[in-house]
Structures are given as structure tokens and as C-alpha cells.
Amino acid sequence: MITESLYQQDSYLKEFTAEVISVDEENHRVALNRTAFYPGGGGQPCDFGWLIAAGKPARVEKAQKDGQGLIWHTLAPLEGLPPVGTEVSGQLEWERRYALMRTHTALHILCGVVFRDYGALVTGGDMEPLKGRMDFEFESLQKEFVAVIERAINEEVRQARPLKVGFLPRDVAFQIPDLIRTKINLLPEGIAVIRTVAIEGLDMQADGGTHVSNTREVGGLRVVDYKSKGKINKRIYLEVTD
């Protein structure tokens, strides 16, 4: 049994129906046969929301994928767990999810611009709704240089570039130059099909997270800080504005 990842096909799916296929009483969670809840990973936090069974909503406080392909939904402690075989409806906390979609795409824009213009690889990253940070292999990073990057990433938003999701066999995907933008390849060996996210005319990466469909949806971008995290490791902090 594995959970079908609906979010990989449609990041805009807010509601869905599914069946409970496993129950973990000790950790107060259930696994579903399909879900739109993103389980976290790649620097993107998991989704929150609700599961509704027999008309009763239960708060989803965490979604997490295990090593067997199941996505578990941790419910609020005071809520009962629906048994195996129960049909449930899922509802995402959409405002938060959409903010994370905008943020994730913003970080891909930043990554694409920095790689295109300077050839720097990513050494780390993290995000919250409407703000995030990325670490790059830069030997130096000055205020004037950061201002140039900020102008460049906002120009990519104004270009209204479409985003497209694709799925490729692993051997085909790894023939694409620079598909992996991180210093270390973080893709487990067991993944046979690679999901790609492309920003038309700018960037293409292996990625499992959720994104908006066009860069114009991101909104304004502001570099709010930058720091040196080592000799060749520089951190850029980004905020998404409305």
C-alpha cells in the first residue's frame, strides 16, 4: 500500500476524498490511499488542514511520508481516529499552502537567476510562508551585488513565466545538464521516476514540492538580509510581498 500524491499532479487542489488504509493509534495518525496534503521535504513545510469523517472534522496537525510510501496525517489529540476503510474528505488550510507555493517558486527564481548569472550551486535552503533563505557557493557577497540579484529576480516575476511539471525516468532525467542544483545530490537511489519543475526560459530542477503556475503569482520579492556562513557559503534571506 502506498499513498497517491495528488499534490504532485495539481498544486491547486484544495479538497479531495480518500479512504483510510492504515491507523496508528500510538501516534494518533492515519494514512490515506490518496492525499493533497504535502508531507514536507526539500525545505518546504508540510500542509495543515482538516479530515472530515461522518460529518465530523478533525484537525490535521502534521503530514509526513514514511519510508514505505505512506503519507500519514497526524490528527489533533482530542479527535477520534477513523477506522480503516472509512471514506474521508480532506480540506487544506489553503491560505498557508498558497503562501508556501508562492515562496517555493520565489526560491526557484532566486536559484535560477543565481545559477544563470553566476554559476553558483545551492548548499542549503529553508522556507516558511512568504519568507525563506538559500545558501550558495559564493566566495564573497556584497550589498551592491545583492541589490543586482534583487532586481533580477523581480524582473523574472514581471516576465510572467509559466511553470510546468514533468515526470521522467531516472536515467533520462539525469541526462539533463544541471538538473540537480544542490551541491549534494539529495535524491534517494530508489526513486525511479523523477519529478521536474521548470520555469520556462529560466530554470529546470528535480523537485517534489508545490508551486504556482506562473511567476507573476509570486508577487514582489525583497532580499532582506545576507550573511556569510563560511568561506564559500553565503546565505540570502528572501521575503515575498503582496
Calculate what percentage of the chain has a pLDDT beyond 70: 95
For residues 19 and 93, give the distance between their C-alpha atoms in angstroms, rounded to a whole number: 20
Contact (Cβ atoms closer than 8 angstroms) between residue 54 and residue 225? no
Residue 12 and residue 81 in one domain: yes
- The H or E element containing residue 223 is strand 220-228
105/218 same-domain check: yes
Q: Do both 35 and 125 map to the same domain?
A: no
Does 20 lie in the same domain as 123? no
Q: Domain boundary at 92, 116, 140, which?
A: 92
**How far, CA to CA in Å, does 79 sit from each of 25, 46, 83, 90?**
12, 20, 13, 15
Is residue 126 located within the same domain as residue 81? Answer: no
> What are the pLDDT digits (tens) for 137-173?
987 788 888 999 999 999 999 999 999 999 999 888 8
pLDDT given for residue 138 in this prediction: 86
β-strand 87-92 against 4-5: which pairing, if any?
unpaired
Indicate the pairing of strand 49-53 with strand 15-24: unpaired
Q: Are residues 129 and 232 in the same domain?
A: yes
Do 123 and 215 lie in one domain? The reply is yes
124, 82: one domain? no
Closest alpha carbon to 87 in 54, 60, 47 = 54
Q: Which residues contact 204 (CB under 8 A, 6 or more apart)?
A: 176, 178, 179, 196, 197, 198
Q: Is the CB of residue 235 less than 8 Å from the CB of residue 229? A: yes
Of the candidates 65, 92, 119, which is a domain's last residue? 92
Co-location of 160 and 233 in the same domain: yes
Work out the number of other CB atoms within 10 angstroms of the CB of residue 227. 12
* pLDDT at residue 186, rounded to an integer: 53
pLDDT the model gives residue 142: 84
Based on the fold, state whether residues 60 and 142 are members of the same structural domain: no
Q: The CATH number of the domain where 219 resides is what?
A: 3.30.980.10
Check whether residue 36 and residue 68 sit in a common domain: yes
**Predicted pLDDT at 190:** 66
Regions of the chain with pLDDT less than 70: 180-190
Instruction: Among 68, 92, 116, give the residue marking a domain's end.
Output: 92
Indicate if the alpha-carbon torsion angle 214, 216, 217, 220 is positive or negative.
positive
Residues in the chain: 242
Q: Are residues 155 and 233 in the same domain?
A: yes
Rounded to an integer, what distance in angstroms lies between the CA atom of residue 81 and that of residue 79? 7
**Element of type H or E holding 61:** strand 56-65
- CATH code at position 31: 2.40.30.130
Residue 29 pLDDT: 97
Question: How far apart are alpha carbons 129 and 167 in whole angstroms?
Answer: 26
The parent domain of residue 16 ranges over 4-92
pLDDT at 181: 62
Task: Domain count for the chain, please give it.
Answer: 2
| Percentage of the chain modeled with pLDDT above 90 | 76
Amino acid at residue number 157? V
Per-residue pLDDT reduced to its tens digit, 183-217: 555 566 667 888 999 999 999 998 999 999 999 99
